Amino acid sequence: MSDRRVLAALTARRVRELEDGGAHAFVDWSEAALLAQAGAPVSPAGGALAGETVAVKDNICDLTFHTTCCSRILEGYRSPFEATAVRRLRAVGALVAGKTNCDEFGMGSSTEFSCHGPTLNPFDAARVPGGSSGGSAAAVASGAVSMALGSETGGSVRHPAAFCGVVGIKPTYGRVSRYGLVAFGSSLDQIGTFGRDVASAARLLAAISGRDPLDATSLDRHPLPPPGPAPASLAGTVIGIPREYFGEGLHPGVAAGMRRAMDRFRDLGAELRDVSLPHTKYAVPTYYIVAPAEASSNLARYDGVRYGRRVAEGAADVRALYGASRGTGFGPEVRRRILLGTYVLSAGFYEAYYGKAQRARERIRADFKAVFASGVHALFTPTTPTPAFKLGENLGDPVAMYLSDIYVCTANLAGVPALSLPIGRDQGLPLGGQLIGPMEGEAEIVRIAQALERVVGGAEEVR
Amino acid sequence: MAVTREQIQHIAALAELAVDATAAAELERQLTRILDYVRQLEELDTGGTRVADERAAPLRKDEVVADRLDRPVSDFGAAMRQGLFVVPRLGELGGGEEEP
């Protein structure tokens, strides 16, 4: 049996064990599909991801598995094309283990808004894995796969990475092709990567990055180089600590974890500098206008005729068919965001909401630009205000759920790269620290994260 | 400012989304809460802020290229006839004969 077939069989066993245990991280996978990939011819030179298995979020198109965005409206859908990111990781030797659970169309912060039911947090089955890419984070945290792809519109890679104790990277907008990523908020969406350590997540990012003519918003840049070794010192590195990320609502366990991590940065020789991003408090309100507005437009195509499951029973005309197909095909959070987006774009409200939010977004971008122009190499913040919350805890209050994104959605609005890495635990639950870099500053935040990881220990065994 | 039932029905119609009475009541409450929250943007003075996308998209050649499909188009329809997908007739909703 070849090494690739052994890896495929071993991965299948791990995924089966994970799913038999009730984790519900995967929504489509099979041993046969893994073995078929392992049997396909590979370049004699191997590849940058040879020996790696990658799980793929269910809103990223591939040719082997279904792509449903965890939505009833795309039940049974198989994509006629493969996302550029998936094509690239397969070209360098990775095996795709299967598709992972997520909030429907990426809308949520807990993976509870999936038509397949929630994924459970690998550290505490009574808690959420974060979201929306919760299945990918749980798959990596459990050790079923070595890496995973997720997607971000407002923190959906970094948030579950923090809740599941793994590393998650959101690259600069345009760094990774969006071709084959099902659109949610097109000015915000980016594919991101998960790994059990910083180098793994960065290697996967390097493999999928680079210009793609199939995505008009793709940056005209060469692929990122793979990460170097972890530096032993951060002397000469200035890390900004934005005071707005340490205010009201920050869980004491998270605050304590951040203080410990900041001490480690000082031990490494970094200079910590108090900085301000004064428009941070407007990020969540801005995000929850811009993202639903874009979603209401992007999701208009799912009407039972152009795309999506058709519900025609009792429909007297085609408009009733659209309404019934969309009304029953979308889940509660997607319906809520489509209606919110339609409201803020409707006549009489457009300028007050959408126009205002666009200008607020410029202010948020300008905050980041100013702080990086002042000589700060990266910003260090908590990834989430709390450790993983309990299943059902925020389902009744959308605003409480949205506030879970308060520290992560700023990077999506500004387009800058950011990553989350484990910085220890509070009462057994993982804590995430976030490094945010300037535009195209992935290599710098990866370097700083590798140095911190070396002294705090990185991802830990789940059990 | 509360979102009214009439506004919910209006935006649901714009969004082509069937919303029943129970869901409409819940949405009234939830959208009111969300909009109350996002309205804190009103306190931000954004006068003089120009919205400009600095990321100039790279241009590509003006050319027509074939659809990029990794499997034959016939894989994606329940049935095909004379090179066309067979789909239900929209004029006979709820159980008409399938015609190309």
**Which residues of chain B have a CB within 8 Å of the CB of A324?**
18
Note whether B56 contacts A: Cβ–Cβ < 8 A: no
Beta-carbon separation of A339 and B15 below 8 A? yes
Catalytic (active site) residue A156: yes
Catalytic (active site) residue A132: yes
**Residue in B30, B75, B90 closest to A398 by CB:** B30
Bond preceding residue A132 cis, omega within 30 of 0: yes
pLDDT for the residue numbered A317: 85
**Residue in A342, A357, A399 closest to B34 by CB:** A399
Domain boundaries, chain A: 285-342
The distance of B82 to chain A (nearest Cα, Å) reads 20
**Confidence bin at B82 (pLDDT 50/70/90):** confident
Asked if pLDDT for residue B55 goes beyond 80, the answer is no
**Residue in B38, B88, B94 closest to A314 by CB:** B94
Catalytic (active site) residue A404: no
The answer to whether the Cα torsion of B8, A312, A28, B86 is positive or negative is negative
Helix (H) or strand (E) holding A192: strand A190-195
Contact call for residues A244 and A277 (beta carbons, < 8 A): yes
**Which residues of chain A have a CB within 8 Å of the CB of B33?**
397-399
N- to C-terminal Cα separation, chain A: 31
Which residues between 325 and 344 in chain A have a beta carbon less than 8 angstroms from any beta carbon of chain B?
Answer: 326-328, 330, 335-336, 338-340, 342-343
pTM for this entry: 0.94
Mean pLDDT, range B39-63, rounded to an integer: 78
Asked if pLDDT for residue B69 goes beyond 90, the answer is no
- Two tokens, residue A212: 């793609």
Helix, strand, coil percentages (3-state) for chain A, rounded to 5, are 40, 15, 45
- The share of chain B scoring above pLDDT 70, in percent, equals 77
Domain boundaries, chain B: 5-43
**Confidence bin at B61 (pLDDT 50/70/90):** confident
**Confidence bin at B56 (pLDDT 50/70/90):** low
**Which residues of chain A have a CB within 8 Å of the CB of B37?**
284-285, 288, 399, 402
pLDDT for the residue numbered B100: 44
Asked if pLDDT for residue B98 goes beyond 60, the answer is no
ipTM of the complex: 0.92
CATH number, domain B5-43: 1.10.20
Beta-carbon separation of A363 and B46 below 8 A? yes
C-alpha to C-alpha distance for A23 and A250, rounded to whole angstroms: 28
Place of tokens 């269910």: A58
Contact call for residues A196 and A416 (beta carbons, < 8 A): no
pLDDT for the residue numbered B93: 59
Beta-carbon separation of A339 and B27 below 8 A? yes
pLDDT for the residue numbered B94: 54
Asked if pLDDT for residue B99 goes beyond 50, the answer is no
pLDDT for the residue numbered B57: 61
In this prediction, the residues of chain A whose per-residue pLDDT falls under 50 are: none
C-alpha to C-alpha distance for A177 and A147, rounded to whole angstroms: 18
C-alpha to C-alpha distance for A157 and A154, rounded to whole angstroms: 9
